[in-house]
Chain A
Amino acid sequence: MKEEIPLAVSDLTVAYHRKPVIWDVGFELPAGSLIGVVGPNGAGKSTLLKAVMDLTPRASGKVLVYGKTYRENRRRVGYVPQRESVDWDFPVDALDVVTMGLYGEIGWCLPVRRKHRQAAMDALDRVGIADFAKRQISQLSGGQQQRVFLARALVQDADLYLMDEPFAAVDAATERAIIDILGEMKESGKTAVVIHHDLQTVPEYFDYVVLLNMRVVAHGPVEDVFTNDNLQKTYGGRLTLLEEVSEAMRRRERSL
């Protein structure tokens, strides 16, 4: 397989009621690496992932997944959303949720067959919770729920994984399981983009990092980019002038 760029973003801006959430974001990510996306709360990390997958309308910008638009290469992208994004009281069991990762492959109106359920079961086994396959999902612990989401992405057998805070509020065993899976992904040449909150573990878990605070402060290999200086820039304050000018834009629009 020729070395392709898994994810290239240029001039990406997403605004909510004219207020930019991310602004002029651009980067190209290297294939076969584990990439941490780091930044303060409200920096637009989740929005970035959603905008890549067309889940949020973008004001401007271009996103290329392995050289094509997201739409064309949708099958090559797996998504692990934040755990809070769904209702865990929904009447399904863990196996059902993992099987949902295969629905796209199965296609419209066709039923789930045994081989799909088996694939889902294998994915649950890989993340170490095969024993809980038949549990209703609200009866799983937070870490187990996160692993269900991970298994659901695994079963999609994508090349590029986008993960929204998989390490948030999980137990040590789950954290270990996620790390192992990330390692396996890397070995088989896959790329994972992971939103991460714990700065201390960044150098240990990732080999590439994107520092985000509304725009990209820096991106590159961890050893070059993950410096105190860059972290200061990322966390040291918001782009107040940019916010002021967008506020001025809104005021002006209202006064017309």
Chain B
Amino acid sequence: MSIFENWSWALDGWIVAAGVLCAVASALLGNFLVLRRMSMLGDAISHAVLPGLAASFFLTESRNSWPMFVGAVLAGVLTAFFTEWIRGAGKVDEGASMGVVFTSLFALGLIMIVRAADHVDLDPGCVLYGAIEMTPLDLVDIRGFLIPRAVVTLSVVTVINLLFVGLFWKELKISSFDSGLATTVGFSSRLIHYLLMILVAVTAVASFESVGNILVVAMLVVPASAAYMLTDRLLPMIFVSVVLAAISAVTGHLSAIIVPSWFGFESTTTAGMMAVSAGGILFLSIVFSPKSGVLIRFVRQRLLAWQILEEDVVAFLYRIEERKLPIGHDFETLRRELLADFVSMKVVLNRLVSRSQLVVDQGEYKLTDEGRLRAESLVRSHRLWEEYLVSHVGIDADRLHQKAERLEHFTDKDLRERLNHETNAPENDPHGRPIPAERDSPKSDQASTS
């Protein structure tokens, strides 16, 4: 492995640590931004801290961290405030007012920094995409240990965010879910909103010069969105988002070293790659999410389609039997009559045979007793529905069959009983065909698909 030849815990270890801390600190707050549908505000704030940084620099004429920190946080909170204010006073929607505020502030910040750059080492490029690779070079002495300054700052911020989420758990939960209720039980939604905004600004500023803007913006939104797709409870969501954030930071740094070498380049920007990995994780969550993922939805639809086709097959065979129609029972006929594709029909017939609802004899499929039982309850559902649709709903006769054909697949024994009761237990359907009697299945009722 070529990667570990150049790996140095003293360098790469600290870079990954800074990335993970920034990602975790941002993801913690990001959950609430996502749930409050204000993900963009995180983006806006982390851009708009720039003029705050620059203004504090002009005022104090030094690169002392504290005034710059306070100035930047103030600018961030002002963004949240202006956004609210312009939305109210300017009759524009939140997205537009946010766009106005943060682009103006960001541009103002850039102008100020470029002016300042004539005199000092405030580098706009560094501010934009950070210099996480430089993390191990700027060390501070903490009780005899030399630790990168960025790691110290980001650790403090992570602890603050953890404490915030832990202490104000109830308050964040209630005001994110129902801000009206929060206010009526005595937790001012506005206060919690601005507390959250202050911490977003603090996190953005702390991350700014070390890991850059891109990573904060990504980590505020992406891990939380991915976690939201993977779970439907708040505590697991936060936990998952933190884990995903950490994973993206680690894989981000690794791929920043590995991936470019595939194309013959030197390593690329770590912060950028961390954000890209987060995007990759989000993509995977969209595909594999167990509750709403693309994959699971596809599988569920397929299974349902096959189940319906199974039922269509047995009901079809039952009807041929009942009317003694001279129609073949072979694979091709079934496929043509039921408009099924080759693979589906193959799967369905095999399943029916393996459950001994059908037997196959020289290419001809025949119902077994068990299959007939299942078909009977389907046909019974179908005909009861037809009767009900005629007598209670007044559906036209020509559309009757089509409607009942759909409903029969979702009708269990209980619903059949009620249909039977409502239609006064008819013996024949509206077309005059006999409605099969309810027979108790030795196994569970197969017609139910709920």
Contact = CB atoms under 8 A, between A and B. Distances in A.
Partners in one complex: yes
Interface in B143-195: 167-171, 173-174, 176-178, 180-187
A91 B170 contact: no
A86 interface: yes
Nearest to A78: B184
Interface stretch (A21-29, A106-114, A191-199): A106-114
B233 to A, nearest CB: 5
Interface in A85-134: 85-87, 90-93, 96-97, 100-101, 103-104, 106, 108-112
A111 B35 CA distance: 21
Interface string B215-249: 00000000000001001111011000000000000
Nearest to A162: B184
Given A85-B178, A91-B232, A136-B233, A109 B173 contact: no
Nearest to A92: B234
B382 to A, nearest CB: 27
Sorting the interface of chain A by its residue count into under 10, 10 to 19, 20 to 34 or 35 or more gives: 20 to 34
Highest count of chain A CB atoms <10 Å: which of B183, B186, B187: B186
Contacts of A55: 180, 183-184
B160 to A, nearest CB: 15
B173 A96 contact: yes
Contact of B233 (A54, A92, A109, A138): A92
A79 B228 contact: no
A193 B392 CA distance: 39
Highest count of chain A CB atoms <10 Å: which of B170, B171, B173, B228: B170
Contact of B178 (A77, A81, A112): A81
Nearest to B232: A136
Interface residues of B, number: 27
Nearest to A107: B186
Contacts of B177: 86-87, 90, 92, 97, 100
A100 B174 contact: yes
A183 to B, nearest CB: 24
A74 interface: yes
A55 B183 CA distance: 8
A74 B167 contact: no
B98 to A, nearest CB: 20
A109 B168 contact: yes
Nearest to B167: A109
Contact of B180 (A79, A103, A138): A79
Interface in A127-175: 136, 138, 152, 156
B88 to A, nearest CB: 11
A104 B178 contact: no
Given A92-B177, A97-B177, A79 B184 contact: yes
Contacts of B234: 91-92, 96
Nearest to A71: B186
A91 B184 contact: no
A112 B170 contact: yes
A54 B188 CA distance: 11
A79 B179 CA distance: 12
A61 to B, nearest CB: 19
A86 B178 contact: yes
A76 B173 CA distance: 23
A166 to B, nearest CB: 15
Contacts of B178: 81, 85-86, 100
Interface in B54-90: none
A101 B37 CA distance: 23
Contacts of B174: 100, 103
B168 A74 contact: no
B187 A104 contact: yes
Contacts of A100: 173-174, 177-178, 181, 185
B184 A53 contact: yes
A92 B181 contact: no
A135 B174 CA distance: 18
A93 B186 CA distance: 22
A91 B186 contact: no
B187 A108 contact: yes
A103 B232 contact: no
Nearest to A109: B167
Given A81-B178, A91-B237, A92-B234, A103 B184 contact: no
Nearest to B227: A91
A79 B181 contact: yes
Contacts of A103: 170-171, 174, 182, 185, 187
A92 B236 CA distance: 10
A77 B182 CA distance: 13
Given A91-B233, A91-B234, A92-B173, A81 B180 contact: yes
Contacts of B176: 90
Contacts of A54: 183
B35 A90 contact: yes
B406 to A, nearest CB: 22
Contacts of A112: 170
Contacts of A156: 185
Contacts of B173: 92, 96, 100
A84 B233 CA distance: 20
A112 B167 CA distance: 12
Lowest 5 CB-CB distances: which A-B pairs, in order?
A: A104-B185, A136-B232, A104-B186, A109-B167, A91-B234
25 contacts: A50-B180, A53-B180, A54-B183, A74-B186, A81-B178, A85-B178, A85-B180, A86-B178, A87-B177, A90-B35, A91-B35, A91-B228, A91-B237, A100-B173, A100-B178, A100-B181, A103-B171, A103-B185, A104-B185, A104-B186, A106-B170, A108-B187, A109-B168, A110-B170, A111-B169
Given A106-B170, A136-B232, 8 more contacts: A90-B35, A90-B177, A91-B228, A103-B182, A104-B186, A109-B171, A110-B170, A152-B181
